[in-house]
Amino acid sequence: MRKTPRLAAVGALAGLALSLAACGNGEQPPTGSGDTASSTAAAATTTTSSSMAMSDGVTKTDDVFGAGCASLPAETTNEGSLDGMVDDPVATAASNNPLLTKLVAAVTAADLVDTLNKTDAGYTVFAPYDPAFDALGADTLNAVLADKPKLTSILTYHVVPQRMDKDGILDAATLTTVQGGSLKVAGSGDDLTVNDAKVLCGNIPTANATVFVIDKVMMPTG
């Protein structure tokens, strides 16, 4: 099924929540943060334990877990439903997800749409839902959105340059991000945390990524 990505309106903080709809603008991201993140993603590797499951990290809609999944559209014809997102690259899929409107605007502002939509790449994306951005406060969020290098660092801290499912991230316990920092995964069953963020809906499949919706914006320490 082939879909045409929609232009996301990057306005009044519709930002940071996967409105990556801007991928349909056909423009190449300007040289700078987007290009740097792309090359870093290609070079970075995920830190895993020796017991990490040998899995390609690709999930199916039946594999999703978490109470937050109930907030996704149930109609399979809706682009924001699990069935609607599964065959779109992650930025486009996020732009259709009603939980991620602010994340998308942020990704668009950082010129990371094309990077995240690369069909020859594989990612694990920890996607803060809209209330997580609201919790930052308007002044902080506006300042972050206006600071492209800082915004890029924060966003790429939420992306692992390898596709992993729930079992994979639990077995690894420590994950190296595109930004270069580390994430700590803990928990059991469907009760997972990444750093201090709780996974609300996980194992969401897209064409090039496995997505975990989380309840906080994680800040890199370095």
Per-residue pLDDT tens over the stretch 52-66: 334 689 999 999 999
Percent of the chain with pLDDT over 70: 75
pLDDT in tens, 93-103: 999 999 999 99
pLDDT value of position 75:
86
Encoded tokens for 188: 């059991």
pLDDT in tens, 123-165: 999 999 999 999 999 999 999 999 999 999 999 999 999 999 9
pLDDT value of position 50:
32
Encoded tokens for 63: 């594999």
pLDDT exceeds 50 at position 44: no
Percent of the chain with pLDDT over 90: 70
Mean residue pLDDT across the chain = 82
Pairing relation of β-strands 209-214 and 123-128? parallel
Q: How far apart are CA 28 and CA 197, in angstroms?
A: 32
CA pseudo-torsion sign 48, 181, 196, 67:
negative
pLDDT exceeds 60 at position 211: yes
Whole-number Cα distances in Å, 31 to 40, 72, 83: 14, 35, 34
pLDDT value of position 108:
97
Residue located via tokens 């996301």: 8
CB distance 55 to 164 below 8 Å: yes
Judged by average pLDDT, the poorest of 14-28, 83-97, 112-126, 187-201 is: 14-28
Q: Which residues pair with 219 in a beta bridge?
A: none
Contacts of 193 (CB under 8 A, 6+ apart): 185, 186, 187, 199
Region 20-24+44-214: CATH code: 2.30.180.10
Give the pTM.
Answer: 0.76
CB 160: neighbour CB atoms within 10 A?
29
Show the DSSP H helices in the chain as ranges: 33-43, 82-85, 90-95, 101-109, 113-116, 130-134, 138-146, 148-156, 166-172
Q: How far apart are CA 60 and CA 119, in angstroms?
A: 18
